Amino acid sequence: MPADPPVTRPIKKLLVANRGEIALRVLRACREEGIATVAVYSEADRDALHVRYADEAYLIGPAPSSESYLSIPNLLDAARTSGADAVHPGYGFLSENAGFAQACANAGLVFVGPPPAAISLLGDKAMARRAMKQAGIPLVPGTDRVTDPEAALAFGAEAGYPVLVKAAGGGGGRGIRVVATPDELAGALQQASQEALQAFGDAGVYLEKYLLPVRHVEIQIMADSHGTVVGLGERECSIQRRHQKIIEEAPSVAVSPELRGRMIAAAVAAARAADYRGAGTVEFLLDRDSRFYFLEVNTRLQVEHPVTELLTGRDLVRDQLRVAAGQPLGYTQDDVSPRGWALECRITAEDPHNSFLPSLGRVRLAQLPSGPGVRVDSSLYDGLEVSPYYDSLLAKVIVWGEDRAQAIARMRRALDEFVLLGVKTNIPFHRYLLDHQDFQAGAISTSFLEGVMEDFGKAATANRDLAAITAAVLAHSGLSPASAAPGQASADGPAARSAWATAYRMRNSGYWKV
């Protein structure tokens, strides 16, 4: 228990310092809690859903996030003008910026997140490793910050290659470099350090052994200022592209109840070692022998938090708000009772048939899936302009099922219902993955996608050929274009076909006007 009794500060009006689906997610929780809401927006986001949803909205600058969503003075101005008494940073942007958390505190605002000291400690991945080592938590074999090539070579010789050079201030899958042989190491170290300085404002790098094959398994934690720390179970996030998650699920097929208990205990110890408060995620790598290794702590709400919400029935944003207001969490480890299976697909505006390049433009029609066990957290609306300024995440489709098979079946059904015209998305790729037998068997690791990419490309080409043949045959037989239309989308695989067919019917019925 902390020495001083925690101060309770009720939140009456909250400003969300973010955009997109996560801003809307936070605003919804506030609405349920009876908290007045303030949105902020850049010039590119005037019509955004979060702006329309909030009680008030303030323009904070032009489209580039450096002049709007990342501008601490502009955000504090909006907070002052609106009379907000709290700030929720969402994820990305300033959510892991200790300076912002401190600036909020200095301005008399409740920051819905951990204390600045915990953000600083855990945001420096090399420092976090040191703290976790002291707390007795198993680490990925690695080093402190390194500048000396000799020290790096000594680690490489001891750990074996390949090794990774990682930026101490890195995040979002960026700032990670694979080094296959000792002769590449000195150069990689220097280059990585320069890049890290540019990208993260910190030249610090450290080394880790490149563990393969492993799963990414993380534990959601929630801590209050009354001494309670709870672990809400794991999420398996091994389906990654360029070290960024695209499908997440819970529970993990690789985690037994006994292992879960040990991982939760380690995550709770990590939170205690950092004097943590609020929602956080302790990320681990899990090897084939069920050994787990600390990777990092994300000191914020995670993109994939809804997976845990569906599994446990808890509202993590509501918990965040309560804890930030100084209230006790109100439940303990014994009250956490996960049920069934949950899956999330991140839907991004990227073209899977063209090296996942961002797909920009205007959304003509967005028709979101629904029905039993389906939740969609999205920033989509008809007419949304997908711009190059921000992250490509458009929506998250999250499903719940009694077991993994039902969750997968529901996700396939939900993605088939998802109609999105105007920009390309990764939905066809998700559909392909969900059909993959290794995914269905749960035989996955962080390198799963590497092997799958090429097959996906081949399958897509085959589908395109098939579509051309089908179209030619249909044209020759004099069938109506309506029945031929779905074939156009078969370049995207059978998944997109039915969504396309729906859209086609809607256009013919006059629903959709371009």
Helix (H, G, I), strand (E, B) or coil at 224: coil
Active-site residue among 129, 145, 260, 300?
A: 300
Q: Quick one: which of 64, 171, 340, 358 contacts ligand ADP (CB under 6 A)?
A: 171
Q: Give the contact letters, 40-79, x = binds to ligand ADP (CB under 6 A), - = no.
A: -------------------------x--------------
Query: Would you say 29 or 94 has its CB closer to ligand ADP?
Result: 94
User: Omega into 251 within 30° of 0, i.e. cis?
Assistant: yes
Token reading at 405? 């098979």
Q: Give the shortest CB-270-to-ligand ADP separation in angstroms.
A: 14
Rounded alpha-carbon distances, angstroms, from residue 229 to 102, 184, 219: 23, 43, 12
Phi, psi of 323 (to 5 degrees): -65, -40
Least Cα distance to 379 among 29, 65, 52 occurs for 52
Helix (H, G, I), strand (E, B) or coil at 7: coil
* Alpha-carbon gap, residue 278 to 295, rounded angstroms: 20
Q: Give the shortest CB-240-to-ligand ADP separation in angstroms.
A: 5
Q: Give the shortest CB-226-to-ligand ADP separation in angstroms.
A: 27
Q: Quick one: which of 25, 145, 216, 260 contacts ligand ADP (CB under 6 A)?
A: 216
Q: Is 173 in the site for ligand ADP (CB under 6 A)?
A: yes
Query: Would you say 298 or 490 has its CB closer to ligand ADP?
Result: 298
Query: Would you say 129 or 410 has its CB closer to ligand ADP?
Result: 129
**Active-site annotation holds for 300:** yes
Query: Would you say 126 or 495 has its CB closer to ligand ADP?
Result: 126
Q: Quick one: which of 5, 10, 83, 172 contacts ligand ADP (CB under 6 A)?
A: 172
Q: E-assigned strands of 163-228?
A: 163-167, 176-179, 205-209, 215-223
Q: Edge to edge, what strands does the sheet with 215-223 contain?
A: 292-298, 278-286, 215-223, 229-241, 244-250, 341-348, 393-401, 374-378
Q: Give the contact letters, 94-133, x = binds to ligand ADP (CB under 6 A), - = no.
A: ----------------------------------------
Query: Would you say 283 or 492 has its CB closer to Mg ion?
Result: 283
240 binds, among Mg ion, ligand ADP, none (CB under 5 to 8 A by kind): ligand ADP
Report the DSSP beta bridge partners of residue 230. 222
Token reading at 176? 């990670």
Q: Give the contact letters, 165-194, x = binds to Mg ion (CB under 5 A), - = no.
A: ------------------------------
Report the DSSP beta bridge partners of residue 37. 14
* Alpha-carbon gap, residue 37 to 19, rounded angstroms: 13
Residues 278-297 that bind Mg ion (CB under 5 A): 283
Distance of CA 435 to the CA centre of its chain: 22
HSE-CB for 492 with a 13 A CA cutoff:
24
Tell how strand 361-362 and strand 385-386 pair up: antiparallel
Query: Would you say 283 or 350 has its CB closer to Mg ion?
Result: 283
Token reading at 401? 């099922």
Q: Give the contact letters, 318-337, x = binds to ligand ADP (CB under 6 A), - = no.
A: --------------------
Q: Quick one: which of 176, 259, 265, 474 contacts ligand ADP (CB under 6 A)?
A: 176
Q: Helix H segments across 239-379?
A: 257-273, 305-312, 316-324
Amino acid at 301: L
* Alpha-carbon gap, residue 35 to 54, rounded angstroms: 11
The contacts of residue 263 (CB under 8 Å, 6+ apart) are 217, 219, 231, 234, 255, 284, 292
Residues 289-318 that bind ligand ADP (CB under 6 A): 295-296, 298, 302-303
Q: Give the contact letters, 427-446, x = binds to ligand ADP (CB under 6 A), - = no.
A: -------------------x
* Alpha-carbon gap, residue 87 to 109, rounded angstroms: 7
Positive or negative torsion for Cα 66, 70, 73, 76: positive
132 binds, among ligand ADP, Mg ion, none (CB under 5 to 8 A by kind): none
Q: Quick one: which of 66, 147, 244, 354 contacts ligand ADP (CB under 6 A)?
A: 244
Q: Give the shortest CB-509-to-ligand ADP separation in angstroms.
A: 36
Residues with active-site annotation: 300
Judged by the rule CB under 6 A, the positions of this chain that interact with ligand ADP are: 65, 91-93, 140, 164, 170-174, 176, 208-211, 214, 216, 240, 243-245, 283, 285, 295-296, 298, 302-303, 391, 393, 446
Judged by the rule CB under 5 A, the positions of this chain that interact with Mg ion are: 283
